[in-house]
Amino acid sequence: MNDSHYDFNHLDPEIEAQVETLLARMTLEEKVGQMNQVSPHWGGGELEDAVRRGEVGSVLNVWSVERINQLQRVAVEKSRLGIPLIVGTDVIHGYRTIFPIPLAEASTWDPDLLERAARAAADEAAATGTDWIFAPMVDVARDPRWGRIAEGAGEDPYLGSVLARARVRGFQSQGLAGGKKIVACPKHYVAYGAAEGGKDYNTVDISERTLRDIYLPPFKAALDEGAGSIMSSFNEIAGVPASCNAFILRQILREEFEWHGVVLSDYDAIGELIQHGVAADLKEAARKAILAGEDIDMMGHAFPKHLVELVREGQVPEALIDAAVRRILRLKFMLGIFEHPYTAEELASQVLLKPEYRDLALEVAQKSIVLLKNAPLEDGGAPALPLQSNARIALVGPLADDRAELLGCWACAGRAEDVETVLEGFRAVLGAGADLTYVKGCALEGDEDLDIEGAVAAAEAADAAVVVLGESAMMSGEAHSRAYLGLPGHQRALLEAVVAACALEGKPVVVILMSGRPLVLTWMKEHVPAILQAWHGGIRAGRAVADVVFGAVTPSGKLVASFPRTEGQIPVYYAHKSTGRPVDERGVIQFNREHKSQYLDESTLPLYGFGYGLSYTTFEYTDLAVQTPEVSMDGTLVVSATVTNTGERCGDEIVQLYIQDLVGEVTRPVRELKGFQRIALQPRERQRVTFEVPVANLGFHGLEMAYGVEVGNFKVWIAPHAYAGLEGRFTVVGSDES
């Protein structure tokens, strides 16, 4: 066990003995019961009876501690063996204290902060009876049409791995409310984010190399950090749905990773093997899933209905059931649920929404905001942001005084009444005497509340207009993919009208964009002087936005997913391959035309790329030094540069380290993130930033699909984002040459 968090991958001989003793007493029916996870609405009020009969091993998303205790009492006091239930909950970005959506949290590039946020979420979840958190969602996502991009850490496997570890540490922290332990559940295993066309649940057909180099690393990182469970995904991978995919569930998890944790299916995903067309009926679905390596059936009804029969018919060896049940019981023992099955009902009121958790939510929201644009209104003038607090402000837009939408998707036990709106944030920062006018202007979607004239009039009467636009919470998250990534409804018309009115009088317009994904902002970038990407920022979003708009806080977030110029570019991501005809080289001329990998009608670059984000101050990168121009395979690459705050304000900069492996036995991305540091600098202050990267981390899966590093030349950059930076070179040599 680690000092700060529990590692559920270390087997404890005492627990192993307890598991064996209990397993030996169980009937086949009771064993299968442990492999059944149900929602509290299951069985039309007969849940208690099923628990009493030992037919249920876990429940999910039960929203009241009283109800959890009630069910637990039946399991512990009324079932034959008294095995407690394990209670799982979707705690995606906070339990009651709702933090910004995970995509926003990741934009802080601050693993320590996210660990503390995950710990706070786990503390609240523990106080309300949860044992098992269905997070972190660690799916690499390179398609912003996919609504679930909101739930993850964006497009990069390295950043995703670092943040996955941080979140697992936070969820599995020691010292949670009531002395409870919580187990994390990285999901959705695997490659769920590679859905064709960005359509949720859609087909995934990627190479094994892409699977291993891009989609697996964040899962491996989460498991290495001690995560005791994993949730398999809905999608197929090259023809085999994850829920019956022995390659990913047995070969990779058990044989290659040697991992002992619990595999949980996604909701009804075992049952859906029928719709996938790989099982003729539920019985075949159950057989395929258990043979492939599923341990628990979440609401698929396949295991509870058919496993006993399959074992009795000799179609499924009982040893497989025993192995799964061993893992489940081990987890229950490790979590201490046998000794402490109940949760004190007064705990919740002491823990939920604690002032320090509200403060933490504010810090995360502040650091997650990304300044995309901040232009002066006239040449040589001051940038539009921050606004003066004595300015007359017109606050406009459908999200300016909204609470519920700011919670974002998967808001768990979050409540709209807990949310501070942007209007409230402005009032709090500007004080009672502020000259602040609010006009909604239009609804998020549809024709209601349409008042573009009112918004224009308010902007005309003010010194600056702040327009709060974006998506509703329900436009992202599960089953909420979008084909068009512009502003919904009349919002673009509202913005155009306000921009036109302000442009005439030389007034600044600031857009605050709240969304669950990167949107297409091409028009906005051209016409609006200042854009702050504020995501769905959770309960303190309004205050965080106000702090940034009026300069109490200098924005420091950076993008973790590319913003496309148009939907037609998708997928667009920084770590693409070079191709044989790269866009930035002279193409082959044939038929009088240059032939290269590009569009005839659009740039290949994103509008705003990975790692990008501005500040109210400026940073200069100088004096790159590669301390290890030759480094051995088992050595450590050391690179440094000086970063200077050249502006007038203090600010945080996220300094990034990228490499490119120039020649490999298989093709390599044009850049790969291998390190980052968030540093704070006072005006004129400079800091030497040094990165030390084990060469072992620079590898990939080669021709034979083995992971390794190749000798040869590399480029390296220390950079403010993926499309800039100081460039150096180094060579990896064989161990005996160095």
| Smallest separation, CB 201 to ligand NOJ (Å) | 9
What is the DSSP secondary structure assignment for residue 99, as one 8-state letter? P
* Binding status of residue 134 toward ligand NOJ by CB under 6 A: yes
Which among 143, 266, 402, 418 is annotated as catalytic? 266
The identity of residue 412, as a single letter, is: C
Residue 195 CB, shortest distance to ligand NOJ, in Å, is: 12
Give 61 or 636: the residue with its C-beta nearer to ligand NOJ. 61
Q: Is 90 in the site for ligand NOJ (CB under 6 A)?
A: yes
Q: Which of residues 481-540 bind ligand NOJ (CB under 6 A)?
A: none
Q: How far is the CB of 90 from ligand NOJ (least distance, A)?
A: 5
If the CB atoms of residues 134 and 303 are measured against ligand NOJ, the closer one turns out to be: 134
CB of 148 to ligand NOJ, least distance (A): 8
Query: Which is closer to ligand NOJ, CB of 266 or CB of 653?
Result: 266
Q: How far is the CB of 192 from ligand NOJ (least distance, A)?
A: 8
Rg (CA), the chain: 27
Kindly provide the b/e burial profile for residues 634-668, where b requires at least 16 CB atoms within 10 angstroms of the residue's own CB.
ebebebbbbbbbebeeebbbbbbbbbbbeeeeeeb
* Binding flag, residue 266, ligand NOJ (CB under 6 A): yes
**Of 135 and 221, CB closest to ligand NOJ:** 135
Site for ligand NOJ in 54-73 (CB under 6 A): 60-61
Residue 595 φ then ψ, to 5° = -105, 105
241/272 Cα distance (integer angstroms): 9
Does residue 140 sit in helix, strand or coil?
coil
Instruction: Dump the DSSP string for 398-462.
Output: TTTT-SGGGG-S--TT--GGGPPPHHHHHHHHH-TT--EEEE--S-SSSSTT--HHHHHHHHHTS
Residue from 98, 222, 202, 242 nearest 153 by CA: 222
Number of residues that bind ligand NOJ (CB under 6 A): 9
Supply the DSSP symbol for 572. -
137/442 with CB nearer ligand NOJ: 137
The length of the chain is: 738
Among 42, 109, 219, 267, binds ligand NOJ (CB under 6 A): 267
Q: How many CA atoms lie within 13 A of 55 on its CB side?
A: 19
For 172, counting Cβ atoms within 10 Å of its Cβ (0-12 exposed, 13-18 middle, 19+ buried), the class is buried
Distance CA 394, CA 383 (A): 18
**CB 188 to ligand NOJ: min, Å:** 6
Nearer to ligand NOJ, 187 or 440 (CB): 187
For the bound state, the minimum distance from the C-beta of residue 263 to ligand NOJ, rounded and expressed in Å, comes to 14
Nearer to ligand NOJ, 187 or 482 (CB): 187
Residue 122: helix, strand or coil by DSSP?
A: helix
Q: How far is the CB of 217 from ligand NOJ (least distance, A)?
A: 20
Tokens at 84, concatenated: 């407690």
Could you identify the residue written with the tokens 């100088």?
Answer: 622
Per the structure block, which two tokens stand in for 738? 């160095």
Cα-Cα-Cα-Cα dihedral of 408, 412, 418, 421, to 10°? 0
Which residue number, 261 or 651, has a Cβ lying nearer to ligand NOJ?
A: 261
Q: Which of residues 316-345 bind ligand NOJ (CB under 6 A)?
A: none
Produce one character per residue of 199-217: b if its CB has 16 or more CB atoms within 10 Å, e if not.
ebbbbbeeeeeebbbbbbb
Residues 645-684, interacting with ligand NOJ (CB under 6 A): none
Clarify whether 634 is annotated catalytic.
no
Supply the residues annotated as catalytic. 266
* Residues that bind ligand NOJ in the complex, under the rule CB under 6 A: 60-61, 90, 134, 187-188, 266-267, 478
